[in-house]
Amino acid sequence: MTTLCFEAANGGISLNGAPFFFKGASYFGMESDICVPHGLWGGDASTTLADVAQILRSNGFNLVRLPLAVSAVVNNTLVDRNKIGNEKALLKSFHWKDLRYFDVLDYMVHEFQRFDLLVLLDAHVMHPGGDITPLCCDAGHEIPCFWGENFQAAGKYPVSLEVKQRLVYCPHVYGPAVAWQPYFNADDFPENMTFVWDTHFGLLKQRTDVPLVIGEWGGQHANPKDWQWQKRFAEYAQQIGVSGVVYWCVNPNGGDTDGLLCDDWRTPNTEAFQLLSCFTGTPLPPHPSC
């Protein structure tokens, strides 16, 4: 079995000494009121973890980000098995037992591991169905930011960890389909976004040796202005040399963003996958042990 040793140094990420690029997607639901990934509930408009994993892996992804609810983790919340009816193997193994949060999480990690996909756990909300965890809030800046996008102070006051080679900055970046900002209406949009992104987080690539991984980004391809924004951001991420991108999201029910899957939970969203085709996740070593 191969041990995975990730390091963050010299502006990039390495796995067992070799350069590594994360290509990921967020798959939400475990942070919601049902405490399981969406789309596994059965019926015509639904999917399975294996199908999701297969689609991601065949499109060059190597990571799935799972938003979690902190209180559900702490309490190992009881789960309604009817909300995850498509995962027959999981339900069979818990036929005479309670199904809890960690049981679902453990099963998911092993399912994705079968397809050589890493799993990133995200403490997304405090309580199931609640608001995003308010670790910090951004307000009053000359160039307004989305939550999780403002890393300006990190250039002046660098973060230092006791454990070296573990720090990665993960800005969250969105466009006009999610929330309107005045710079989306500039005459030179979307070219003006380079200055905005540089100001918010991009200049860290020049001023520090801490890698950048885009922790969230996404939007709607049917919104012309937002689609312009997404295409320009994909170019920008490549130009500054990020160490990974994590798209929001797999789910087609994201509301203000498209999913990698269409409304039937099975058909790939060709526009989204084409947009992301410029990124390729580094393959994992065979049969890793996590």
CA distance 281 to 260: 16
Strands 288-289 and 2-3: parallel
CA distance 138 to 199: 14
DSSP code of 35? -
* Dihedral pair phi/psi, residue 195, rounded to 5°: -65, -40
Tell me what pLDDT residue 140 has: 44
DSSP H or E segment with residue 214: strand 214-218
Indicate the SS3 state at residue 12: strand
The token duo for 88 is 């027959």
Q: Which residues pair with 66 in a beta bridge?
A: 121
Tell me what pLDDT residue 244 has: 99
Cis peptide before 182 (omega within 30 of 0): no
Long-range contacts at 142-146 (CB < 8 A, ≥ 24 apart) = 143/183, 143/196, 143/199, 143/200, 144/181, 144/182, 145/200, 146/172, 146/173, 146/174, 146/178, 146/179
CA distance 105 to 37: 10
Per residue of the chain (290 residues), what is the pLDDT tens digit? 678 999 999 999 999 999 999 999 999 999 999 999 999 999 999 999 999 999 999 999 999 999 999 999 999 999 999 999 999 999 999 999 999 999 999 999 999 999 999 999 999 888 897 766 544 444 444 567 777 788 998 988 989 899 989 999 999 999 999 999 999 999 999 999 999 999 999 999 989 999 999 999 999 999 999 999 999 999 999 999 999 999 999 999 988 999 999 999 999 999 999 999 999 999 999 864 44
The token duo for 249 is 């999201």
Q: Which of 108, 20, 270, 54 is nearest to 261 (CA)?
A: 270
Tell me what pLDDT residue 133 has: 55
Whether the predicted model's global pTM rises above the 0.85 cut: yes
Summarize the chain as % helix, strand, coil (round to 5).
30, 20, 50
In this structure, what CATH number is given to the domain that contains residue 236? 3.20.20.80
Number of domains the chain contains:
1
Inter-CA distances, 155 with 28, 64, 164, 169, Å: 31, 29, 18, 11
CA distance 260 to 249: 6
CA distance 31 to 45: 21
Tell me what pLDDT residue 132 has: 62
Task: Write out the residue range of the structural domain in which residue 240 sits.
Answer: 2-289
